Amino acid sequence: MALAPTAERSNRRWAPVLAGLCALLLLAATAEIVLDGAVGHSPLIPKSPNIAGWLGGIGERLGYRVFLVALLSFSAAYVGLLALTGRAWLKQLSPRWAIGLVVALHAIVFAGPILLSTDVFSYIAYARMGVEHGLNPYVHGPISIVGDPVYHYVGSSWKHVPTAYGPLYTLLSYPLAPLGLTGALWGMKVVALLASAGTLVLTWRCARARQFDPVFALLAVGANPLYVIYGLGGAHNDLVMTFLMMAAVALMLTGRSSSGRETGAGATVMAAALVKATGVVLLPFMVISRRRLAPIVGAASAALGGALAAYVAFGVHGVDIVAALNRDAALVSTDSFPTEVAHLFGKPGVFPIDHTLLKGVLAAILLYLMWLTWRGYDWVAASGWALLAIAVTSTWLLAWYTLWSLPLAVVTRDRRLLWTTLAVQGLFILHQTSPLFVQVQ
């Protein structure tokens, strides 16, 4: 429905002011988390070398309440910003303004400590095991390098666990190992920052190629609370996988369609899978959509090259991704939706039979999406739904898993994917809020 001229004039006047307020709130919430996090001694900040000590004198120790209030404020401002940007009367929002906001958010998080996860120390430990200690990270866990400085920072649940990441990521992390712990940590932060920047650039390009508002796409991904605070804040390698996924999508969506680009896209999807196995999900949808040999040839070549490199570097264990996936599929986290549903029905948690049922549900969803893609449904949207389905049906859900589908969702015509992804993220955030009501101390 068209707005009355007076209302439209009023909206045009107020919308930029409201957008500015939302942006300020995003920056303030991020700065609060980072500055308080830099003080250390917080259950939300993993034990870490003091890389953000120079920020430590400004904030106070980060507690659950302050963190959750900041996260909820960030989320509210993000929703407000998206609502404003999505309106026709704010379409003229300056791209420079949006890029400046996303760059500022990234800069604040980059300058601060590692947030909310010890995963980055596992990445460094696996790299140092291979480079400094001559150990195979696909056979041994970080426990085998007890004397290494990184060992004390690895999460207690992961000390005995060999890496589950793809061989490409493990090999990419090797050059960081000789830099020492602090150097490697900054290296990981730079990798995450570059991967995020690359993802956002590609998201922008794909949105333009499909004639969507690139400003909206940029803000939806680059100012997303879980993306900024959890994904970038924890320097997670999911950002590297997402960057490669978006590179494959960009190859297919931008420029003239050619066998070369399709071969490259297939190879890039496989590269994403060689970083983190989940990335492979895009491949069947890409292949079904194009019904050409080129993506298969590209993916098969990359898989062959990757397997060969993995075998040379890590032996047969580096190639056996299925074993690592099976091991991880059995994990259970309290934040996963299956665990929550089990609690709703009075069960203490998920049982082995539930894992089987969930795998069946996921398989059915994937088959349905493949059938839809065969019938002409957008393969990018189908890939996004598949990634979201994996996150929702997984018994091991972490915040950054809900980011997988986000860049795909903003470059598809089926807006249901974006709203569903954001709803899933909203429920994830809601699930974190119990310390707001009663805090244990």
Cβ atoms of residues 87 and 216 within 8 Å:
no
CB of 369 to another protein, least distance (A): 11
Which tokens hold the place of 173?
């992390």
Cβ atoms of residues 370 and 291 within 8 Å:
no
Quick one: which segment of 26-34, 172-180, 227-235, 427-435 binds another protein (CB under 8 A)? 427-435
Distance (Å, whole) CA 33 – CA 282:
34
Site pattern 322..341 for another protein (x: CB under 8 A): ---------------x-xxx
Q: How far is CA 210 from CA 204, 353, 382, 414, 422, in A?
A: 10, 43, 16, 12, 21
When the beta carbons of 8 and 340 are compared against another protein, the nearer one is: 340
CB of 74 to another protein, least distance (A): 19
Q: Could you say whether residue 47 binds another protein (CB under 8 A)?
A: no
Site pattern 397..426 for another protein (x: CB under 8 A): -------------------x---x--xx--
When the beta carbons of 17 and 437 are compared against another protein, the nearer one is: 437
Q: Could you say whether residue 437 binds another protein (CB under 8 A)?
A: yes
CB of 132 to another protein, least distance (A): 26
Cβ atoms of residues 387 and 409 within 8 Å:
no
Distance (Å, whole) CA 187 – CA 172:
11
How crowded is the C-beta side of 182, counted as CA atoms within 13 Å? 5
End-to-end CA distance of the chain: 52
When the beta carbons of 355 and 431 are compared against another protein, the nearer one is: 431
Cβ atoms of residues 314 and 362 within 8 Å:
no
Quick one: which segment of 87-95, 165-173, 313-321, 430-438 binds another protein (CB under 8 A)? 430-438
Task: Identify which of 281, 327, 343 has the alpha carbon closest to the alpha carbon of residue 163.
Answer: 327
When the beta carbons of 6 and 156 are compared against another protein, the nearer one is: 156
Give the footprint of another protein on residues 342-401 (CB under 8 A): 343-344, 346-349, 392
Residues that bind another protein (CB under 8 A): 337, 339-341, 343-344, 346-349, 392, 416, 420, 423-424, 427, 430-431, 433-435, 437-441
